[in-house]
């Protein structure tokens, strides 16, 4: 799954060394790897609430456990010789509240839902000592927000709900550096545009081959996007990730 980063960064699942199964008659065979992972990310986002303008949603890493309503992440990678492809999917739903400066007895409750789908192909341009892939494809982003005011004087204040999805084209590169038969390092970066004014992702990590079919992956990943007209006009997510890749 060393492509999470390469297509976007879900980059965290992409840290495994590729396997090169050989068939004497047909050449390299297809290799597949599935990687469920967890990305413990801090979140900063500018949310359009409509009734009180754009408000900053900030969920630091220390508050993630209490703010996280649901999360699911995973990637699948396929490779044959120098060619391959990856799909990485990340879904997260957060809930938080803040007190607006103009209303000390009022809470602004914000629910934030985000999906990132990255689908990329890659081609290996260098095979030693580092393994270098160039990456190209598409990324789909979806955001949904719900904002409402509550206070001690009224059970429910204004409520605003908005959702939108869009596509970006993506290009990037991934570098894998094998240290020995067990350990390898990964660096990945990509940039995208289209529906976003700009989206980009970077990842640095390592992987440990626990067995022939199982690899443990971990590192740090950062993702950011800007868009003029959306429920969330700007967002950045960054934090450590850990996952386990299963080859078949």
Predicted local distance difference test score (pLDDT) of residue 49: 76
Tens digit of pLDDT per residue, the chain (248 long)? 333 333 333 333 333 333 322 233 345 789 999 999 999 888 888 887 776 777 778 888 777 777 788 889 999 999 999 999 999 999 988 877 766 555 555 677 888 899 999 999 999 999 888 999 999 999 999 999 888 777 766 655 667 788 999 999 999 999 999 999 899 999 999 999 999 999 999 999 999 999 999 999 999 999 999 998 778 888 999 999 999 999 98
pLDDT of 14 reads 33
Instruction: Output the six-digit token pair for 66.
Output: 């209490």
What pLDDT sits at residue 245? 96
Into how many domains does the chain fold? Answer: 1
Q: What does the H/E/C string look like for the chain?
A: CCCHHHHHCCHHHCCCCCCCCEECCCEECCEEEEEEEEECCEEEEEEECCCCCEEEEEECHHHHHHHEEEEEEEEEEEEECCEEEEEEEEEEEEEEEECCCCCCCEEEEEEEEEEEEEEEEEEEEEECCCEEEEEEEEEEEEEEEEEEEEECCCCCCCEEEEEEEEEEEEEEEEEEEECCCCEEEEEEEEEEEECCCEEEEEEEEEEEECCCCEEEEEEEEEEEEECCCCCEEEEEEEEEEEEEEEEC
Within 8 A by CB and 6+ apart from 68, the residues are: 92, 93, 94
Domain that holds residue 32: 4-247
HSE (side-chain half, CA atoms, 13 Å) at 200: 6
Domain CATH code at residue 209: 2.40.128.90
Predicted TM-score (pTM) of the model is 0.80
The pLDDT value recorded for residue 142 is 95
The predicted pLDDT at position 19 comes to 30
């Amino acid at each position: 799954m060393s492509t999470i980063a390469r297509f976007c960064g879900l980059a965290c699942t992409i840290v495994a060394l590729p396997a090169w199964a050989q068939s004497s008659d047909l050449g390299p065979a297809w290799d597949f790897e599935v990687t469920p992972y967890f990305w413990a990310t801090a979140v900063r986002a500018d949310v359009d609430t409509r009734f009180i303008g754009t408000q900053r949603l900030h969920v630091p890493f220390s508050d993630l456990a209490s703010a996280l309503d649901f999360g699911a992440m995973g990637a699948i990678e396929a490779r044959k010789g120098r060619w391959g492809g990856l799909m990485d999917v990340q879904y997260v739903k957060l809930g938080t509240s803040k007190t607006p400066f103009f209303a000390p007895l009022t809470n602004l409750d914000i629910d934030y839902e985000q999906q990132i789908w990255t689908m990329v192909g890659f081609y290996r341009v260098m095979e030693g000592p580092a393994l270098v892939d160039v990456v190209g494809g598409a990324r789909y982003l979806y955001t949904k927000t719900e904002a409402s005011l509550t206070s001690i004087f009224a059970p429910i204040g204004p409520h605003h709900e908005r959702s939108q999805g869009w596509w970006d084209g993506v290009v990037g590169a991934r570098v894998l550096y094998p240290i020995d038969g067990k350990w390898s390092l990964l660096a990945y970066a990509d940039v995208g545009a289209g529906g976003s004014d700009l989206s980009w992702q970077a990842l640095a990590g390592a992987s440990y081959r626990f067995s022939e079919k199982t690899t443990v992956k971990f590192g740090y990943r950062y993702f950011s996007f800007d868009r003029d007209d959306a429920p969330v006009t700007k967002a950045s997510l960054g934090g450590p990730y850990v996952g386990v890749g299963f080859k078949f």
